[in-house]
Chains A and B, each alone.
Chain A
Amino acid sequence: MNNTTFNNASTSTILHVDINSYFATLQQQENPHLRGRPIGVVKDEGRSCIIAASKEAKKFGIKTGADLPEARLRCPDLLTIPAQFDRYLDATRRLKKIFTQIAPAITIYSLDEAFIDISDCQQHLYPDSHRLGRQIQQLIKNDLGEWVTASVGIGPNRFLAKMASEISPPESVFEINHHNLDAVLAEVKFNDVCGIGYQLEKKLLKMGITHPYLIRLYSNDDLLPIFGPFWTKELKKMAYGQEPHHLELLNEPLPHMKSVGRSITGYKLYDNEQEIKSILYNLTEEVTHKVRQMKLAGRAVNVSLFGQNRGWGQAPQIWHQHLTLKYYLRHTQEMFQLIYDQLYRNWQREFKVIKFGVRLGMLEPVAEINPSLLPEAQQQEKISAAKDYLTEKYGLFTLRSGVLLNQPLIRPEVTGFLGDKTYHQL
């Protein structure tokens, strides 16, 4: 295989923009007292999992997902800041506006990452892609603030553009082209390669493959027994800098969501029936509200409960049940009845609960489903319509079930990888 043949579109130029330490950087932009200090963003006050670390905290080896007590051992001055998911999402919308002004072909890949395809407009508008990269960095600063920095990677496809931004220092512009491709693939670590996760990396290292370039030295016969036909093909593509399947899928129009789920880890271990009921109802309400907003309905109901991690070698405390219905649902009350009265009631209360999850799957557009003519279903439809109208007009939780009274409300939040991109219309 010719290593200059990156992909089927070798004349393409893609930019990958990655905002450095996104959540933490935005917090520091907002609050000058935090700038230059090691901070860890947590979901809420009192939480102990760091969901984002600032550049300064990263220097102490604090990474996303770090446990707070452990992080404090590494960095006693670490400040913890509660996340502001609404503001991060808005910042992403602002970034999208900036990118759309540059080129029409953009893809928001996650909350803090986007691909900009300038292939069609490079010749006349952006002959110098490095200069464009620096302009993008400045536009981001102009809009979001001076503290917000971004790395820009340039490549002939999304795979290499992303790799370029991953391996470049913060606030830099780096290009992978046919001159440096082999050198980069021979040096890059697998955790900077999009599509190679922890398990896959472990298998590769076990074979002595430490860098993508080395995959070229192995035949399909060597790789097939270990990785199977799909991953053998994908790894071979990556070894030559070609775009893997999961990035090619970005060319396809976004399908409607197949399932909507919501989970939350509590502040404490829950054993009180009223508290558990309230949390399950709250999560169900968020799920069904999202499903209705997207004009979908589903028929696979799932509930999961997790106990405290009992330590190394101990089986985790997990209980989950699901139900596949013959009809579609999308209303809070009907889903909650199934979750609480049918599924949850089967639980033998073997452990105290730290984490809760509910999910509605097998979603289909309401327009493609025959509506129920039963009076109860019609009544639910009217109740939900009235409730959605009041939420739209007066705000979330203005009208809420008595089940949620005197209980802390769980508000919707976005995830960094933006799994609900369709819902947020990004």
Chain B
Amino acid sequence: MFQRIAEKIEVAGVYKNTEFIPRKFQWRHRVYQIDELTLISDIKDGGIRKRLYSVTSRGNLYRLCFNRDSESWLLEEVWYE
């Protein structure tokens, strides 16, 4: 199941075919290399546009959220079993 984190993170990535692809992120002073981008979704919270990236790093799944209005990143949730 997912554990709610909701903490600010920094993300680095590349633009490919006009779309941003995250490659790594830094959370709590630790860098996580992204192995697989499993799902991208554009959602709206009222009028606020957000892009959700589900990514795996070393076998763990993370949900990253990019607020397209404030241009800020959040680590929303982490999957654990």
Among the listed B1, B38, B43, B81, which residue makes an inter-chain contact with A86, where contact means beta carbons less than 8 Å apart?
B43
Among the listed A90, A91, A391, which residue makes an inter-chain contact with B46, where contact means beta carbons less than 8 Å apart?
A391
**Do B41 and A90 touch (CB < 8 A)?**
yes
**Do B61 and A90 touch (CB < 8 A)?**
no
CB nearest neighbor in A for B38: A30
Q: A32-B61, A33-B79, A87-B52 are in contact. Are A395 and B46 (CB under 8 A)?
A: yes
CB nearest neighbor in B for A93: B42
CB nearest neighbor in B for A81: B1
Q: A29-B38, A29-B39, A91-B41 are in contact. Are A394 and B61 (CB under 8 A)?
A: no
Q: A33-B79, A391-B47, A395-B48 are in contact. Are A87 and B61 (CB under 8 A)?
A: no
**Do B41 and A32 touch (CB < 8 A)?**
no
Query: C-beta contact mask, B41-72 vs A, less than 8 Å → 1, else 0?
Result: 11111111000101010000100000000000
Which secondary structure dominates chain B's binding surface?
strand
Does any Cβ of B come within 8 Å of A283's Cβ?
no
Does any Cβ of A come within 8 Å of B36's Cβ?
yes
Tally of contact residues, B, Cβ under 8 A? 18
**Do A145 and B46 touch (CB < 8 A)?**
no
CB nearest neighbor in A for B52: A87
**Do A90 and B47 touch (CB < 8 A)?**
no
Does any Cβ of B come within 8 Å of A173's Cβ?
no
Q: A29-B38, A30-B39 are in contact. Are A396 and B79 (CB under 8 A)?
A: no
CA–CA, A398 to B81, complex, Å? 33
**Do A32 and B36 touch (CB < 8 A)?**
yes
- CB neighbours (8 Å) of B38 from chain A are 29-32, 145
Query: C-beta contact mask, A17-33 vs B, less than 8 Å → 1, else 0?
Result: 00000000010011111
- CB neighbours (8 Å) of B39 from chain A are 26, 29-30, 87, 144-145
- Could you name 14 residue pairs across A and B whose Cβ atoms are closer than 8 Å? A26-B39, A29-B39, A30-B38, A30-B39, A32-B56, A33-B81, A86-B44, A87-B43, A90-B42, A145-B38, A391-B46, A392-B46, A392-B47, A398-B46
Which residues of B come within 8 Å of A, CB atoms? 1, 36, 38-39, 41-48, 52, 54, 56, 61, 79, 81
Which residues of A come within 8 Å of B, CB atoms? 26, 29-33, 45, 84, 86-87, 89-91, 93, 144-145, 391-396, 398
